[in-house]
Structure 1
Amino acid sequence: MLSLIKFTGSVAMRESKDSLTPMIKQYHSLKEKHPDKILLFRLGDFYETFYEDAKVASRLLGIVLTSRPVGKGRRIPMAGIPYHALEAYLNKFLKHGYRVAICEQVEDPKKAKGLVKREVVRVITPGTVLEENILEEKINNYLLSLYPAEGKWGIAWVDISTGELWVWESEKEKVLSQLERISPREILLPESFSKDFKVNENCITTPYPDWSYSLPRAEEILKTHFQVSNIDGLGLRELPLARGAAGALLSYLEDLEGEIPQNLTTIKVFQDQEYLILDPATVRNLELVRNVAGEEKGSLIEVLDETLTPMGGRLLRKWLLHPLRDIQKIRERLDAIDELRKKSFTLLKERLSSVYDLERILARVERGVAKPRELISLKETLKALPGIISALSPFEAPLLKNIRETLKPLPELTDLLERALIENPPQTVKEGGLIKDGFSPELDELRQIARGGKEWVAKLQEEEIKKTGIKSLKIGYNKVFGYYIEVTKPNLHLVPPHYIRKQTLVNAERFITPELKEKEALILNAEERIKELEYEIFQEIR
């Protein structure tokens, strides 16, 4: 059955908006720009969905469907997820073929005058995922653009999580065979063709305007992105259908991301004459990457895959699905394997075990979505490079020598990450606790103020106990009242006259003093500025 991206238009779009609350009006203005996507609307510590989106979210995610007042006694369906659990829920949407628009609060609610400003900051589809916990570690996540014509089809496919971009055109049957090997998660194709094209259940199709495939438009976007004066510089002169497919692909990414990902620095032409072309039946019957039940267990790749890095695992899969025909290249691989087999490569394996998924980390860094712990992984990988180069030095096989000569350590970047980031940073980037002491003089000064303030509060508690004789007196803090002095009811007769009553509890009362409030402002301002400055420093590093 044709698998199309699902549409989640809101019933309320037909309603009069005059009586709606300001926040729901804001939601409508954003949803109108993304009618075919699930809109995750940031509201405090939750991403909320409304109207039909809420019904879809409740059903798919197994979360409670509630409602929210929108004015004049009306209520609308609502369902929400905690912001820190976004990736887990996002994966469920994508697996069911939905596109998701993520709407964030783009100003501090404490500083907002009136309604908090919100914007859609990312649109994610099954073929444009960057999130580490959603992607399969050793399998590429391809988005493919298809441009069909009489007799020939052109294709372009990209994995934005690794920066690969390929193009090809050939006879229809050969292209269909290649689609099976590429196994994309999402296929972009002209609207006029989308109803006639069938894909397997693991892939969705996204119709895209026919004019996006026109050669003049495609060539312009390709020349602009790759900064070339003419299409010859990309090796695409004799591949008009591949050009059209690539142009539409880049245009689609620009529509989603606001810009074409900068990690797409080269475009490669697939040279089918270099490979033994395996048709889908052969791939299935040989159980190269999946058994007859469609699982990896018992397949050839499960037997062969001893790779120590995600990048190696993805490369092995490509090699199995695209066997070489060039005798010289085959011999180079065999020579490398033979030398590795004859000489000990235990040290090399040990060094490679410290390497993280560099391709995907760099893609997330480029998009500005890398988490603090991923920068630590980047640092550990960079630190491993000199050792890997050294471990490769005994080997003389041309393939291994070429790898050794290609690797370039980056000591300055390694040193920056080492000096700046703590070893076990939190997952979030806006709550502080990221940057080491000694990296920023301004940050060190603010931390001293905050630490000194808390020490002052502890000392004040001791002094007030001595002054008042109230041994159970304590100074506490909450977000509503700030710092307060708490006195149990049996001791209220000992409270000094300068204490100002702030809150009455069942068994105690809470007070403030001008001195305490003055120090509170100093501490809280320092703590808030610490979070802001740490985020600014992290953004500069990232």
Structure 2
Amino acid sequence: MSPGKLTPMQAQWLKFRNMYNEDEYILAFRMGDFFEFFDDDAKKVAKILDITCTTRQGRPLAGFPYASGHEQLEKIVKAGISVVVVDQVEDPQEAKARGSKVVRRDVVRVITPGTVMDENVLDKDTNNFMLSLLLARSRKNKKLVKIGMAVCDLSTGEFHTTSFMDRLPRCAGLDQVITKYAPVEVLLPDDFEEPAIINTIESIRPGIFFRNIPRNRFESEEAARKLKEHFNVSNLEAFGMEGDDITTAAAGALLGFLQEHQKSLLSNITSSYHVLPSRFMQLDSNTVRNLELLRNNSDGSTSGALFGVFSRTRTTMGKRMMKNWVLSPLIAVDDINARLDVVDYFTKEILVMEQLGEILSGVCDLERLISRINYSHAINARHLVQLAVSLENIPSIKQILRDVSIDYLDELRKSMVDFSELVQELQSIFVDEPPPKISEGAMIRDGVHGQLDDLRAIKRDSKAWLKQFQEEMREKYDITTLKVKKNKVFGYFIEVTKSHIDKVPDSWAR
């Protein structure tokens, strides 16, 4: 399409379309109550979602309602295509007031395989990690490399780093890390050239998405600055990265990528955990498969596998943690004994275990819920009610653990924060069972907001309200013949006879 023939809206769309590679990204362009897709983007979306692709003025067009958009967008990402979300950032009336024919729009989020947030798209039992990787070769032996990496699950706020020496082309250490984290997306410098690394990752994670970003995003000094600014620290010693330029660079590149694509400060990522390989038994992909740690070798299910036997947790958060424990067995005696002390306690205190189990059954996936609230992605009142119901259980858990003498459980109890005030506020605002969509209304309790109560009363009995309004206007302006009427031309209007025209206030439009 010739730029000279574009409408203002089409020119706006083209500006954003040209900002991103057409092979890697499609553009979700909000127009009123719909996300619209044009040209090749429309054809791709129609095929993935099995929706109709029409033609308007010779251009392919597809779309779906904005209200259901977030889940649909993340389904597109699951198909291997990243989505640039362009939303309206002003009200149409504001655009009209400044004399513009189109509303202002901007990129509010870029969704990639590693930044999916919707619980209907994510596997609730599995983390959704994005990995950033950098390597440095040994000067004496080119087959010996140091690998620094960072992984982040944006949906839970987990951020881990690690570094290790590895030998090409076997890459045994890399095999172990990829097996443990099972990333869905990998960030690499755009000049990365090491087939052994790529082949190792692809052999364990077939179909994984590799994304190349500019090499300068991996610059260690800038990476350190970003990390210290984000975590509000003066140095990275507590995170195990001080003096480790290669790991710092990988972590900073990952954090910067997430900030840029989420258009957010990532406030749910509050800490970074440095994984020391010496603390855990390192398991490669062959070991995990042959020992049937996660899945059996008969039908690929968890039935009969070690994880399937252990996976009797009451929350999805616990199930993800259990999977991590299976893939990262402890080897330090003190760590093993500390965990066994907890197991021993609960096998003896069956009643306490059952009480905790019953309470935890009412706790939702707080990790992912809090992250979703933090990014305001398709949040509704149900999510906030779920948050209140889950947090309401904290005092009961602390009470049950009050007299426990196990150090680990005592530290856990002390770390729990009482959110009673927040729970009370949420419960006082929202009804117990709000509808799934904000557009359905009926989510706020009566008495919370006076104006809302008045509007509800009008909706319930509009005729009575109009009659009352008419009487109030008659009395206020001493116009006994004043009438409130409605027609197809003006809608609702106030009728006053000529004999009372001098009593009509100047603020009324004639």
TM-score bin (small chain): 0.7 to 0.9
Give the 3-state SS of the residue equivalent to 1:375 in structure 2. helix
Q: Is the 8 A contact 1:250 1:260 kept in 2?
A: no
Q: CA deviation at 1:439?
A: 1.9
CA RMSD of aligned residues (A): 2.6
Q: Is the 8 A contact 1:253 1:260 kept in 2?
A: no
**Pairwise mapping of residues 56-455 of structure 1 onto structure 2 (< 5 A)?**
56-69=44-57, 75-109=58-92, 112-113=95-96, 114-150=101-137, 151-172=145-166, 173=171, 174-193=173-192, 196=195, 197-198=198-199, 199=202, 200-292=205-297, 294-343=300-349, 344=351, 345-369=353-377, 370-393=379-402, 395-429=404-438, 432-448=441-457, 450-451=459-460, 453-455=462-464
Q: For residues 404-463 of structure 1, give each alpha carbon's deviation from its aligned partner in whole angstroms, at most 9, with x where no partner exists.
A: 222222111111101111222233446643322222334334444555535346999xxx
Q: CA deviation at 1:134?
A: 1.4
TM-score for the superposition, normalised by structure 1: 0.78
Give the 3-state SS of the residue equivalent to 2:443 in structure 1. coil
Corresponding residue for residue 31 of structure 2: 43
Q: Is the 8 A contact 1:155 1:168 kept in 2?
A: yes
Change (3 A) 1:261 1:88: closer
Change (3 A) 1:388 1:228: closer
Residue type of the alignment partner of 2:363: V
Give the 3-state SS of the residue equivalent to 2:392 in structure 1. helix
Return the alpha-carbon distance in structure 2 between the equivalents of residues 104 and 403 of structure 1: 42
Change (3 A) 1:202 1:298: farther
Residue type of the alignment partner of 1:443: L
Return the alpha-carbon distance in structure 2 between the equivalents of residues 118 and 412 of structure 1: 38
Return the alpha-carbon distance in structure 2 between the equivalents of residues 445 and 502 of structure 1: 26
Q: How many residues align?
A: 454
Q: Is the 8 A contact 1:194 1:207 kept in 2?
A: no
Q: Is the 8 A contact 2:431 2:444 kept in 1?
A: yes
Return the alpha-carbon distance in structure 1 between the equivalents of residues 232 and 418 of structure 2: 28
Q: CA deviation at 1:166?
A: 0.9
Residue type of the alignment partner of 1:232: E
Residue type of the alignment partner of 1:51: D
Gaps in structure 1 of 5+ consecutive residues: 1-14, 70-74, 461-497, 504-510, 518-542
Give the 3-state SS of the residue equivalent to 1:303 in structure 2. helix
Q: Could you tell me which of 1, 5, 20 is aligned with 1:34?
A: 20
Return the alpha-carbon distance in structure 2 between the equivalents of residues 41 and 79 of structure 1: 11
Q: CA deviation at 1:248?
A: 0.7
Return the alpha-carbon distance in structure 1 between the equivalents of residues 337 and 486 of structure 2: 86
Q: CA deviation at 1:273?
A: 0.9
Q: CA deviation at 1:261?
A: 0.5
Give the 3-state SS of the residue equivalent to 2:179 in structure 1. helix
Change (3 A) 1:180 1:117: same
Residue type of the alignment partner of 1:357: D
Change (3 A) 1:311 1:499: closer
Return the alpha-carbon distance in structure 2 between the equivalents of residues 231 and 382 of structure 1: 32
Moved more, 241-250 or 327-336: 327-336
Give the 3-state SS of the residue equivalent to 2:164 in structure 1. strand
Q: CA deviation at 1:79?
A: 1.3
Q: CA deviation at 1:278?
A: 1.1
Residue type of the alignment partner of 2:90: E
Return the alpha-carbon distance in structure 2 between the equivalents of residues 499 and 419 of structure 1: 39
Q: For residues 154-188 of structure 1, give each alpha carbon's deviation from its aligned partner in whole angstroms, at most 9, with x where no partner exists.
A: 10011111111111111233133211211011110
Q: For residues 476-495 of structure 1, give each alpha carbon's deviation from its aligned partner in whole angstroms, at most 9, with x where no partner exists.
A: xxxxxxxxxxxxxxxxxxxx
Return the alpha-carbon distance in structure 2 between the equivalents of residues 67 and 438 of structure 1: 49
Gaps in structure 2 of 5+ consecutive residues: 138-144, 470-483, 497-510
Q: For residues 169-213 of structure 1, give each alpha carbon's deviation from its aligned partner in whole angstroms, at most 9, with x where no partner exists.
A: 112331332112110111101111168323222521111111111
Residue type of the alignment partner of 2:375: R
Q: CA deviation at 1:84?
A: 3.2
Return the alpha-carbon distance in structure 2 between the equivalents of residues 385 and 444 of structure 1: 33
Residue type of the alignment partner of 1:204: F
Q: CA deviation at 1:233?
A: 4.9
Return the alpha-carbon distance in structure 1 between the equivalents of residues 187 and 300 of structure 2: 24
Give the 3-state SS of the residue equivalent to 2:48 in structure 1. helix
Q: Could you tell me which of 9, 25, 33 is aligned with 2:11?
A: 25
Return the alpha-carbon distance in structure 1 between the equivalents of residues 206 and 337 of structure 2: 39
Q: Is the 8 A contact 2:458 2:465 kept in 1?
A: no
Corresponding residue for residue 508 of structure 1: none
Give the 3-state SS of the residue equivalent to 1:193 in structure 2. coil
Return the alpha-carbon distance in structure 1 between the equivalents of residues 50 and 259 of structure 2: 33
Return the alpha-carbon distance in structure 2 between the equivalents of residues 183 and 500 of structure 1: 64
Return the alpha-carbon distance in structure 2 between the equivalents of residues 231 and 513 of structure 1: 65
Change (3 A) 1:501 1:310: closer
Corresponding residue for residue 40 of structure 2: 52
Q: Is the 8 A contact 1:348 1:392 kept in 2?
A: no
Q: Is the 8 A contact 2:38 2:61 kept in 1?
A: yes
TM-score for the superposition, normalised by structure 2: 0.82
Q: For residues 371-403 of structure 1, give each alpha carbon's deviation from its aligned partner in whole angstroms, at most 9, with x where no partner exists.
A: 321111100011111122223345433322222
Q: For residues 99-157 of structure 1, give each alpha carbon's deviation from its aligned partner in whole angstroms, at most 9, with x where no partner exists.
A: 11122233334664232332222111110112121121121110110002211111001
Runs of 4+ in 1 over 4 A off after TM superposition: 448-452, 457-460, 498-501
Return the alpha-carbon distance in structure 2 between the equivalents of residues 163 and 239 of structure 1: 23
Return the alpha-carbon distance in structure 1 between the equivalents of residues 454 and 488 of structure 2: 32
Between the aligned residues of both structures, percent identity stands at 36
Give the 3-state SS of the residue equivalent to 2:221 in structure 1. helix
